[in-house]
A and B are shown apart, each in its own frame.
Chain A
Amino acid sequence: MDMNAYLSMFIDESNDHLQSLNENLLRLESDPEDLSIVQSIFRSAHTLKGMSATMGYEDLASLTHEMENVLDLVRNSKLKMDSFIFDTLFKGLDALESMVQDIVQGGTGKADVTAIVASLQSIVKGDYKTTGASAVPAAAASGQQSGGLLDEFQTSVIQQSIDSGHNVYYIEVEVREDCVLKGVRAYMVFDLLGKNGDIVKSEPSVTDLEQEKFDRSFTVFAISTLSQQELETQIAAISEIDKVSVALLDLESLAMLNNAASKEQAPSAAPASTPASAQAESSTKEEAGKQVAAARSQAAASSAPAAVSKTIRVDIDRLDALMNLFSELLIDRVRLEQLSSEIRRNDLTETVEHMTRVSSDLQNIVLKLRMVPVDSVFNRFPRMIRDLAKSLDKKIDLVITGADTELDRTVIDEIGDPLVHLLRNSVDHGIETTQERLAAGKPETGTIHLRAYHSGNHVFIEVEEDGRGINREKVLKTAIKNGVVTEEQAKQLTDEDVNMLIFAPGFSTADKISDISGRGVGLDVVKSKITSLGGNVTVDSALGRGTKFAVQLPLTLSIISAMLIKLGSEKYAIPLTSIVETGIVQRDQILNVHGNRMIHFRNAIIPLVSLSKVLDSPDFNEHNESETEIVVIRKGDKWAAVTVDEFIGQSEIVLKSLGKYLTNIEAISGATILGDGQVALIIDPNALIK
């Protein structure tokens, strides 16, 4: 079988399972008594094990297997979770993650996991408390561990058959020692079972049996119409069969068998030889009941995804291609609209109007297709905060709200790192140590809120903690020391200005440099990254009560609303997001302050920027006009008025890059194609405000 075809599916699904393992372990840590969480952890681990074994990633499978053993004991209330077990499981998860990463990078997914495996095994044996992890020898349990264990799918098949009243048997067959054609005998058994029912699983696998890759005995799970007695006689009637035992399975014995099999493998790869029914009898009724319930919930979970899986995974490149094609359609649409308004034929106009409506619906859908919930970024944070808090010996709760808020895929891909920076910053600098918090009369546990929500054409992501807040004096002292501002300037800064200073390059107020943050690289990187995404970051802080970082991001990066303007014969687009308003100024309203031209605007004096000068316009000069159209733009809280020749109107434009040959052109952020097929450049308003 060509595994490559399944590789990407394997990677996707492993990541999903690792993520849910991570989440559930965290949940379990806060609520160790909740066994239903253990169940779902167990299921994820189990599926992951099955998948990796199928794909031939032995190390991955064996490590998952060891983790499963531990979880199994917990699930059956034979082991109580404690911090050592949690840490070991988390370590195991990290190892699994790095193995999967290795596979993603094209590696073999091999890793040395003996230390973690040893700790896990010592937990299973229950001697970790006395001997410690290192003393346990790494048993050779990696190779053939899958014993008589059924995977989730097979379990559910069997359960369904039992539920619908079929006979399910666990059959052990031993061929005679002097048997010449073992494979043929095995085949005959299979043939017999196949004629009277169905084979769910065999151990060793059918192919191995056919190639005689087994010693003398093999086991089969089969559904059959025959009775136990009939089956036993018929199999025994096949020549050269030495021994056969047929056990009827019911739900209880099935659950027992599953658990027994997984437990048995821990010390060595012993064959599953005890008949299942015997085990079922030996266990107390109470315990059996519990396990049936467990097995049922397992079955329920395995059938649930089938019902909800109305989604498909699509390659992001295809979505990009769709987006590009749609952009071209949009250009043609604008062109058609122009033509129809020139030609003025009713039926043409109607058709074009209809097409406009359809295409704007289409635009919504195409844009929505690219939307991903921010959860795909947020979901790794709880674990990160837990680890950080542990390493800093702080107590921190992370509260996430609005994880279902959707953002364009391109923004999602870029926003992860800045958020990591902000959160690390909050944990390290924001939240105080436990002692400090108690001394300040605050609850021992600090809280970080991570919120995401929509507002207009933007998505806001906020990181808010109830920590120590920004200390104005300390920030100013550092800023002056690092030469970010002078002492004179410092006196005039408002509190907001001071807060923004922490985004200045090379700024860090942490007294000591820590692993987590405090090297003075970080917040300025955060700011430039977010700005490059067309977003904005602000900070709000109260000393002693906490700090809030608010990140404002555009919903999408590919289609924007813009104001089209004319400058002589040339057309330009100004993104609507940075336009405050448009207006007209008379020549005599323009003031000259220190050689800079300024105008009065809403009780403020703002600079007047000549677009024709900035862009070296060949055929427009506003000095020849007695009144000039202006566009008032904004960058943060700085405003400026930009003089233009004429407004054309507002339009949805498709962002196009200028290509790799033309890069870093002053005041130009890209290009778009207008309805008449001409290229118009998009002005970068941020470059116009100094």
Chain B
Amino acid sequence: MGEELKVIVFSLAHEEYGIEVDKVRTIERLSPITRVPKTPSFIKGVINLRGIVVPVIDLRGRFGLTESATTENSRIIVVAVADMEVGFIVDSANDVVDIDTDTIDLPPEIVGGIKAKYLRGIAKFGDNRLLIMLNLSEVLNKSEIIQLEQLEV
């Protein structure tokens, strides 16, 4: 039996994903986003999070999935990693679950169109539900953004 891990579960394009609770600052409803020019298209802009300006990125766009219009259920999950605070737009944030670290398996090459390097692993929980654990520092890797920018130009 491994350690217990508290995980926030959110959904993105019909898949369920997880982020460790201690990395999550807050979960917010969508608020007006101010566009920041000259940034990759998945960076939606910045929001005012109680007096702090926080950049928001669309996770679908970040993973190269098709972006869809936001709905009533859309949420912004603000995570704090390595001195950075960034908000993720997700389709919905559903649940907090405990998972056993032993049940996290290495991810296959590609899951739902997302490259394995963004993933920490896949965990099983509940009645055979699968949870894709994100590797946040890789998702927020800035050198990759710079490469992306160069590709776009």
Please give the residue numbers on chain A whose beta carbons come within 8 Å of chain B beta carbons, in ascending order. 324, 327-328, 331, 570, 614-618, 656-663, 665-668, 671, 673, 677-681
Determine whether the beta carbon of B140 is less than 8 Å from that of A677. Answer: no
Given known contacts A661-B140, A665-B39, A666-B38, A679 and B53 CB-to-CB distance under 8 angstroms: yes
Would you give 15 A-B contacts (Cβ < 8 Å), ordered by A?
A327-B51, A570-B35, A614-B37, A615-B37, A656-B52, A659-B55, A659-B85, A660-B84, A662-B55, A665-B39, A671-B53, A678-B48, A679-B34, A679-B48, A681-B36
Chain A residue at minimum C-beta to C-beta distance from B142: A661
What 1/0 mask marks residues of chain B from 102 to 140 whose CB sits below 8 Å from any chain A CB?
000000000000000000000000000000000000001
**Assembly CA distance A644 to B73 (angstroms):** 36
Q: Write out the residue numbers on chain B whose beta carbons fall within 8 Å of the beta carbon of A663.
A: 142
Residue B54 at the A interface, CB < 8 A? yes
A665 and B34 contact, CB distance less than 8 A: no
- Nearest CB on B from A617, distance (A): 8
Chain B nearest CB from A42 CB (Å) reads 49
The 0/1 profile, CB within 8 Å of A marked 1, for residues 52-88 of chain B is 1111000000000000000000000000000111100
Q: Which residues of B contact A673 (CB under 8 A)?
A: 48, 51, 53
Contacts of A666 in B (CB 8 A): 37-38
Verify if B90 is at the interface (C-beta below 8 Å from A). no
Given contacts A659-B53, A659-B54, contact A618 B35 (CB under 8 A): yes
* Number of residues on chain B facing chain A (CB within 8 A): 25
Contact check, B85 vs A668: say whether CB atoms are below 8 A apart.
Answer: no
Q: Does B32 contact A (CB under 8 A)?
A: yes
* A227 vs B92: C-alpha distance when bound (angstroms): 90
State the CA gap A552–B85 with chains docked (Å): 34
A668 and B53 form a contact (CB under 8 A): no
- B47 interface residue (CB < 8 Å to A): yes
Tell me, yes or no, whether B9 is within 8 Å of chain A by CB. Answer: no
Option from B34, B46, B142 in Cβ contact (under 8 Å) with A570: B34
B interface with A by C-beta (< 8 Å): 31-32, 34-39, 43, 45-48, 50-55, 83-86, 140, 142
A680-B43 contact, Cβ under 8 Å, with A328-B51, A659-B85: no
Using CB atoms, name the residue of chain B closest to A618.
B35
Beyond A659-B85, A661-B142, is A681–B51 a contact (Cβ under 8 Å)? no
Which residues of chain A have C-beta atoms less than 8 A from B52's C-beta? 656
When distances are taken between beta carbons in the complex, the residues of chain B under 8 Å from A680 are: 34
Q: What is the bound-complex CA distance between A271 and B86, given in angstroms? A: 69
Q: Evaluate contact between A324 and B51: CB separation under 8 angstroms.
A: yes
Say whether B55 contacts A661, CB under 8 Å. Answer: yes
B83 near A660: Cβ-Cβ < 8 Å: yes
Please, which residues of chain A bring their CB within 8 A of the CB of B86?
659, 661
**Interface pair A658/B55, CB less than 8 Å apart:** yes
Contact partners of B45 in chain A: CB under 8 A: 679
| Chain A residues within an 8 Å CB radius of B46 | 658, 662, 671, 679, 681
Q: For A661, what are the chain B residues with a Cβ–Cβ distance below 8 Å?
A: 55, 84-86, 140, 142
Distance A469 CA – B36 CA, assembled complex (angstroms): 47
Q: How far is the CA of A614 from the CA of B43 in the complex (A)?
A: 18
Complex Cα spacing A80 to B11, Å: 84
Chain A residues contacting B32 (CB-CB under 8 Å) are 678
Shortest Cβ distance from A587 into chain B, in angstroms?
Answer: 25
Q: How far, in whole Å, are A679 and B53 apart by their CA atoms in the complex?
A: 7
* Given A665-B39, A668-B36, 6 other A-B residues pairs in contact with their CB atoms under 8 A: A327-B51, A331-B51, A570-B35, A673-B48, A679-B34, A679-B48
Q: Which residues of B contact A668 (CB under 8 A)?
A: 36-38
Smallest CB gap from B85: residue in A: A659
How far is A328 from B35 in the complex, measured between Cα atoms in Å?
A: 22
Instruction: Give the complex CA separation of A666 and B39 in angstroms.
Output: 9
If A324-B51, A660-B84 touch, whether A616 touches B38 (CB-CB below 8 Å) is yes
Identity of the chain A residue whose Cβ is nearest the Cβ of B32 in the assembled complex: A678
Name the distance in Å between B80's Cβ and chain A's nearest Cβ: 11
**A680 CB to nearest chain B CB (Å):** 7
Q: Is the CB of A657 within 8 A of B37?
A: no
Contacts of B48 in A (CB 8 A): 673, 677-679
- Interface pair B54/A678, CB less than 8 Å apart: no
Distance to closest chain B CB from A663 (angstroms): 8
Return the 5 tightest CB-CB contacts between A and B, nearest first. A679-B34, A615-B37, A328-B51, A656-B53, A671-B53
Given contacts A324-B51, A671-B53, A677-B48, contact A659 B84 (CB under 8 A): yes
B84:A681 contact, CB within 8 angstroms: no
Residues of B within 8 A of A671 (CB): 34, 46, 53
- Are B51 and A667 closer than 8 Å at their CB atoms? no
Distance, CA A328 to CA B53, complexed state (A): 12
Output the least CB separation between A644 and chain B (Å). 14
Chain A residues near B54 (CB-CB < 8 A): 659
Closest CB-CB distance, B59 to chain A, in whole Å? 14
Q: Are B83 and A662 in contact (CB under 8 A)?
A: no
CA distance A602 to B34 in the complex (A): 36
- Distance A324 CA – B51 CA, assembled complex (angstroms): 9
Cα A660 to Cα B83 with chains together (Å) = 7
B residues within 8 A CB of A662?
Answer: 36, 39, 43, 46, 55
How many Å lie between the Cα of A324 and that of B142 in the bound state? Answer: 28
Instruction: Kindly list chain B residues whose C-beta atoms are within 8 Å of the C-beta of A656.
Output: 52-53
Q: What's the Cα separation between A331 and B46 when bound, in Å?
A: 17
In the bound assembly, the distance between CA atoms of A323 and B52 in angstroms comes to: 13
Tell whether, in the assembled complex, residue B37 and residue A658 are in contact, meaning their CB atoms are under 8 Å apart.
no
Distance of A614 Cα from B38 Cα, bound (Å): 9
Shortest Cβ distance from B31 into A: residue:
A677
CB of B152, distance to nearest CB on chain A (Å): 12
